[in-house]
Structure 1
Amino acid sequence: MDDNAPTPRRQPETLDPRAELSEFLRTRRARLQPHDVGLPSFGRHRRVPGLRREELAQLAGVSVAYYTRLEQGNGRNVSGEVLDAIARALRLSDAEHAHLTHLARPTAHKKKKATRPQHLRPAVQHLMDAMDGVPAYALGRRSEILGWNRLAAALFGDWGLLPPEERNWARLTFLSEDMRTLFDETWQQKASDMVSFLRMEAGCYPNDPLLSALVGELSVKSEEFRRLWAEHDVREKGHGVKRLRHPVVGELTLSFESMRLPDDYEQTLVTYHAEPGSPSAEGLRLLASWGVDAAAPAARSEVP
C-alpha cells in the first residue's frame, strides 16, 4: 500500500446546515454586481465576484458584523424580518427565499423523521393508471420513484425491473446513459432541475442520512453533478417542455406538469402530454399500443 496516497474523503452522514447556509448566501451574493442593485462601483478591479459583504449588509439594513456572522453560518435566532430583508437585497426568488428560511431557521418541518417510509396512496396509483395516453409518475423525497403508469414505463423504461433502491430520478439522470440519450439536447436542463430539487430537499431535511448518501454517491460518480451541486441553485419547476429521442418512436416534444400532492407535500405527481394532433401525440399513441408490460403496482416495494 502506498503510504503517500491521499486518504479518500469520508462522506458525512448528514449535510451540515451551517455550511449549506454559508455557501448559499455566498453564491447568491456573488451573482450580483453593484450596478444590478443601484450601487456605485468603485475601482476597476474588485477582489471578490459580485457584491461585497458590506454592500449586501447596507442593502439589507443590517450591520456588516451581523451579516458576516450569518454568512459564516453563525447566525442564531435570526428573525423572519431580517431574512426577508436579506432575501430582497439578494433578489431571491420565492423558492430561494423559502430555502434560505429552511437553512437559517430550524422548523418543525425539519424535525420530521426524514427516514420514515414513503407510501403512495393507492388512489394516486389508480389515477395514474386511468390516465389514457398520458405518461405519469410520482416522486417522493430525494427523487425516489414511488409509482408510475404503463405509458411512463414505455416512455422512460420499466422501472419495475430495477431494485427499489435504484428507482431514483437523480441516479438515473446522472448515471444512466439511456436517460442521457433519451433527453438528448434537453438533458442539461433536466440535470439542472434535478439538482435544484435535491437542494430544496436538503434545506428541509439537512439531517437525512439517505439524502447525504445519495449526494455523496452522485458527487463521486458524476462530474456534472458535482459542478451543479456547487452552484447552490434552487427553484421550483412546475411545468415546461422536454424534447425526447425515443428509441422506438423517435423524437417527441412533450409538455410536463409537476404537482405537489395536497395531502403530502413531499410527493409530486409528474405528467407528460403532447399537443393534440401533433406528430408527438401520434408518437405517444404508438407507444401506448407498443405493449410494454409495466410492473404491477402491487409489486412496487415501499421506499424509505
Structure 2
Amino acid sequence: MAENAASPPLDRLSARLRSRATKLSPKLRKAAALFDENRGDVLELSALKIGGLIGVSDATVVRAARALGFSGLTELKKAIAGTLGAAPTHVRNLQRALASVDQDVDGAIDLVLDHEAQLIANLAEGDARRAIPVAVDLLHKAQRVVVFGTGTSGLIAAYAVRMLARHGKPVLLLDATGFDLAEQMLTLREGDAVLMLFFGRAYPEVEVLMEEARNRGLPMVVVTESAEKPILKAASAVLEIRRSGPDGAPLHGATLVCLEAIIMGVAAMEQQASLDSLERLQLLRARIVQRRTSGRRARRDS
C-alpha cells in the first residue's frame, strides 16, 4: 500500500541494522550502534568526531555507513534526517529511553547515572579539558561576564550567573528571546566577555548576539555539543560538551560540571575578591536573620 501524508517516514537505518548488524565486525557494529542511538548528534558531527566518541578512525565510521548499504556518511545522515521529521527529536529519544527500561525505576536511575559518568569522563580529557583554562583566563580578564542561554540552557545560565555573582564577578544574564533579548543586549559594553550556552542549530538570537559581540570586540566562550559549527569560527574558545544520554535523550550534568569548573577556576584567579564577596554575603544573610528574629519578637511583645 502506498504511503500517504500521515504515514511515518521510512526508517532505512533501523531496517538495515536489523538485517546486517550480525555481519558487521565489532568496530563497525560499535559505529552502527552510535548512528542509531545518537541520531540527532550524528547529523551535527563529522566522521572524525563520531569516531572520536567511540575510539575508532573516521575511515571506520565511513566504512560502517557503507556496510549498512549507504554510499557514505552523507547519505546515512539524509536517512536519519528523514526519520527525525516524524516527531521532535527529544520526544522520540525519550520514548526510546523509557522503552528500554520499561517502568523499571532502578534501571532508569542506573541508566542516567552511567551515562552521566561517561559524559563527565569525556569532559575530563581531550579538547574540552584543554579549553577550560582558556575559558577561565578570558572570563577572569573581563570586567563583566555576560551569560547567554535560552530554554533549558537559560535555567543553567541563570545558575552560572548566580554563582559567578556570589564570587564577586560582575555579571549580566541574557536569557530572553526576540525583542526582549534585544533590550537585554543594550547594556553590552567594552570589557565584557560572553559565555554562551548554545546547543543545536543556529537560531536568530545566537546569530545576532555573536555578531554584536564580534562587532564590539568582545571575547566569546561557547559551550556547545559540536565545535565544528561554522558560526563558531568567531568564538575565542569552544568547549565541546556531549549531552547524549539514554537513546539520545539530553542530559545536562556534564554542562553543569563544566560551568562549575569554569566558575571555580575564575574564583581561584580572583581569590581575594571571591572571599570578600562570600563574606559580605554571609553578613547580609545574618542581618536578614536578625531582622526577622527582632520582627517576630516585636510582634509577640505588642
Shorter chain as denominator, the TM-score bin is 0.3 to 0.5
TM-score by length of 2: 0.32
Larger Rg: 2
Higher relative contact order (CA 8 A, sep 6+): 1
**Which structure: greater helix fraction?**
2
